[in-house]
Structure 1
Amino acid sequence: MTSFFDCSDDDGLAEGTKQARASIESGELIVLPTDTVYGIGADAFSAAAVTALLNAKGRDRQSPPPVLIPALATLDALAETVPQEARDLAGAFWPGGLTIVLPAQPSLSWDLGETKGTVALRMPNNPIALALLRSTGPLAVSSANKTGMPAATTARGAEEMLGESVQVYLDGGTVGVDYADADVTETSSTIVDATALASGSGKLRILRHGVISDEQIREVVGDALDDEPAGDQQPT
């Protein structure tokens, strides 16, 4: 049974967060607002829940979801090695529209798909998302849409695509407005790969161009950014 919660007031947010956490703990899926697009979320430490997330989107294990975190301190708990440039980027753009790919802690008991030992981390700049993450801990979250369709910027838009595959929808109004006002045409987060930098074998690469520009990233990391384009990934 799908439930829809208007989180525009404190009571709705409290009840929605409570029900979303219960769904996460039961291995079910939820939809939540972020600062860029709406996301479909699952318990990052439940392989079955992550599989359900990928199935709901029409994806396979070759497209593992990123993990949203509630605080900068969580970075070291989930990533094995964090180069200084990645910390600088997180300090500059978190919470916000930047996803950082890093080597995952090998001791973590999770299965996000074919990650090749990495994890994509982001701290969203949305009070509803952060309230939920503080309650649940890290969540596997991908954009709330069917693969090949535009990412949803409203909860109802997400519901139209995902329907009853999701148990709880948290409605936080239209998202991505601030980025659109800044003349950004891409609504997804920018993805940077810091794994080569972490291993000392290369530079930081931009995997997907998004709401944080190449110029903004270069202002923070300087020559640590690879000049060779890596090509865009599909939105997650």
Structure 2
Amino acid sequence: MTKIITAENIEEAAECIRRGGTVVFPTETVYGLGADAMNDDALRAIYTAKGRPSDNPLIVHIADKGDVYKLSSDVNENAKKLIDKFFPGSLTVIMKKSPIVGGVVTAGLDTVAVRMPSNPIAAELIRRSGCYIAAPSANLSGSPSPTVLRHVVDDMDGRVDYIIDGGNCDIGLESTVVDVSGDVPEILRPGKTTYEELKQILPDIIINDAILKETDTPKSPGTKYTHYSPKADVTVVVGSKENVRKVIQNKISVTPNCGVLTYKGGSYPGVFTTDAGDNMQQYAANLFYSLRLFDENGVEVVFAEFADEGGIGLAVKNRLFKSAGHKVIYADD
């Protein structure tokens, strides 16, 4: 049976982690499903709860920057620059793992993914438990990541020991993942920490080609298998507002039981709509919540408005395209 608590009872959750249990906790990005990163049985419980394949690595969460040097055998200059600038925060750094890191948390890779969350509840849980906490997003594998408590409960009630209610997550998308284990630093998953920000620190950083494509190589947590998909069938429509609206109007006229995810407002009479916001930061915060909202309202087909913009827009595009299985219409073509 799952127990739902608040931060006032965080010691219960910390004790659960110490004894090898599973705890869902809030972070600034999305809710995470955590267990002791050094306990292989506890890690297997994460995979079981999510229905997640065990060849998909997990991110190890820490509460002290110095722990990086215990988890990695090679904290190189690129890693140090990123850690100094962006820890704590929504950045995960991939480095060569140290001997203390086992094969379950890394899915057999020779690297480890490390993040230091800024959310105070997450940080306190890590500190109180005395453990490194491995945690993917707290959703059933393949579904949109949860950013509010009720979506955590929908997926994880009865599957985990504890859920900590921390309210709504601020960012709404998972962390940026950067691999610094090779000669050239590489963004494997975009997030709130943007390419533009990273390039100021590491001028030679590149973006992995697979970010907007399907991939079978799990170099990074959260980049393998179907991701972020609601039960509804999603199609993304990209372009100017006027052309996007024309395409979607034509589609909904011949598509039963459909809905529209609008961007910067808009009305489609007769169909269920929800708005992603007025800028890409709001789109990021609302995306996963909105995708689940369509399912809750019985919508079977979703058309999502999108406009190519920089910054966190790359992360929104990555998640949105994956949720649609890369079904994309370019309205301006």
Query: Which category describes the TM-score, using the shorter chain as reference length?
Result: 0.7 to 0.9
Alignment RMSD: 1.8
Please tell me whether the aligned partners of residues 106 and 117 of structure 1 are also in contact (alpha carbons under 8 angstroms): no
Taking a change above 3 Å as real, the CA distance of residues 4 and 103 of structure 1, as seen in their structure-2 partners, is same
> Matches of 1:227 and 1:171 in 2, distance apart?
35
Q: Structure 1: which amino acid aligns with 2:4?
A: F
> Matches of 1:96 and 1:231 in 2, distance apart?
21
1:164 counterpart SS class = coil
Match of 1:226 among 206, 217, 227: 206
Match of 2:57 in 1: 64
Match of 1:166 in 2: 160
1:53 counterpart SS class = helix
> Matches of 2:207 and 2:31 in 1, distance apart?
31
1:142 counterpart SS class = coil
2:198 maps to 1:211? no
> Matches of 2:207 and 2:136 in 1, distance apart?
28
Please tell me whether the aligned partners of residues 96 and 125 of structure 1 are also in contact (alpha carbons under 8 angstroms): yes
In the TM superposition, residue 115 of structure 1 has moved relative to its aligned partner by 3.6
| 1:99-110 paired onto structure 2 within 5 Å | 99-108=92-101
Please tell me whether the aligned partners of residues 22 and 46 of structure 2 are also in contact (alpha carbons under 8 angstroms): yes
Match of 2:318 in 1: none
Taking a change above 3 Å as real, the CA distance of residues 227 and 147 of structure 1, as seen in their structure-2 partners, is closer
Please tell me whether the aligned partners of residues 188 and 207 of structure 2 are also in contact (alpha carbons under 8 angstroms): no
Could you state the TM-score of these two structures normalised by the residue count of structure 2? 0.61
Match of 1:199 in 2: none
Instruction: Output one character per residue of 1:108-127: Cα deviation in whole Å (capped at 9) or x when no partner.
Output: 45631524111100000100
| 1:13-92 paired onto structure 2 within 5 Å | 15=9, 17-92=10-85
Q: Structure 2: which amino acid aligns with 1:155?
A: L
Q: Which moved more, 1:148-157 or 1:37-46?
A: 148-157
2:105 maps to 1:112? yes
Please tell me whether the aligned partners of residues 32 and 169 of structure 1 are also in contact (alpha carbons under 8 angstroms): yes
1:231 counterpart SS class = helix
Please tell me whether the aligned partners of residues 187 and 207 of structure 2 are also in contact (alpha carbons under 8 angstroms): no
> Matches of 1:135 and 1:227 in 2, distance apart?
36
Match of 2:180 among 176, 186, 194: 194
Q: Structure 2: which amino acid aligns with 1:194?
A: V
1:86 counterpart SS class = helix
Match of 1:4 in 2: 4
> Matches of 1:109 and 1:94 in 2, distance apart?
23
* Unmatched segments (≥5 aa) in structure 2: 213-222, 229-333
Q: Structure 1: which amino acid aligns with 2:11?
A: K
What percent of counterpart residues are identical?
Answer: 33
2:175 maps to 1:175? no
Please tell me whether the aligned partners of residues 24 and 164 of structure 2 are also in contact (alpha carbons under 8 angstroms): yes
In the TM superposition, residue 2 of structure 1 has moved relative to its aligned partner by 1.6
In the TM superposition, residue 129 of structure 1 has moved relative to its aligned partner by 0.5
> Matches of 1:171 and 1:153 in 2, distance apart?
11
Q: Structure 1: which amino acid aligns with 2:139?
A: N
In the TM superposition, residue 231 of structure 1 has moved relative to its aligned partner by 2.6
Instruction: Output one character per residue of 1:65-98: Cα deviation in whole Å (capped at 9) or x when no partner.
Output: 1100001111101111011111111111111110
Q: Structure 2: which amino acid aligns with 1:207?
A: L
> Matches of 2:43 and 2:207 in 1, distance apart?
34
2:157 counterpart SS class = helix
In the TM superposition, residue 163 of structure 1 has moved relative to its aligned partner by 1.3
Q: Structure 2: which amino acid aligns with 1:76?
A: Y
Could you state the TM-score of these two structures normalised by the residue count of structure 1? 0.85
Aligned residues: 215
Please tell me whether the aligned partners of residues 106 and 112 of structure 2 are also in contact (alpha carbons under 8 angstroms): no
Highest RCO, 1 vs 2 (Cα 8 Å, sep ≥ 6)? 1
* Unmatched segments (≥5 aa) in structure 1: 181-186, 197-201
1:18 counterpart SS class = helix
Match of 1:157 in 2: 151
